[in-house]
Chain A
Amino acid sequence: MNHYASALNNHLPPEEREADRALQHYFQTARPSVWPPAPTAAQPAGHANRTGLARLTLAASLAGLLALGWMLSYGPSADGTAPSPAGPSLTKASADGANLQKRLPR
Chain B
Amino acid sequence: MAKARASRAAFESLYQQYHRDVWAMAYARWVDRELALDLMQEAFVRLWKQMERGEVIENPRAWLLRVARNLAEDDAKSAFRRHGTQAPEILSSFRSGAEQPADQLARLETLARVRELLQELTPADREILTLKYALDCDGATIGEKLGIPVTAVHMRLSRARQRLAEKLITTGVTLP
Interface of A toward B, CB cutoff 8 Å: 12-13, 15-16, 18-27, 29-33, 35-36, 38-41, 43-48, 50
The answer to whether A48 and B44 have CB atoms under 8 Å apart is no
Would A29 and B94 be within 8 Å (CB), given that A38-B44, A39-B44 are in contact? Answer: yes
Contact with A along B126-168 (1 / 0, CB 8 A): 0001101111000000000000000000000010011011001
- Return 21 A-B CB contacts under 8 Å, by A number: A15-B165, A16-B158, A16-B165, A19-B165, A22-B164, A23-B133, A24-B133, A26-B115, A26-B118, A29-B111, A38-B16, A39-B41, A40-B45, A40-B48, A41-B48, A44-B45, A45-B41, A45-B44, A46-B37, A46-B41, A47-B42
Interface of B toward A, CB cutoff 8 Å: 11-12, 15-16, 19-20, 23, 27, 31, 33-35, 37-42, 44-45, 48-49, 52, 71, 75, 93-95, 110-111, 114-115, 118, 129-130, 132-135, 158, 161-162, 164-165, 168, 173, 175
Helix, strand, loop or mixed for chain B's interface? helix
B42 to A: closest C-beta gap in Å? 4
Helix, strand, loop or mixed for chain A's interface? helix
B residues near A39, Cβ cutoff 8 Å: 41, 44-45, 48
The answer to whether A45 and B42 have CB atoms under 8 Å apart is yes
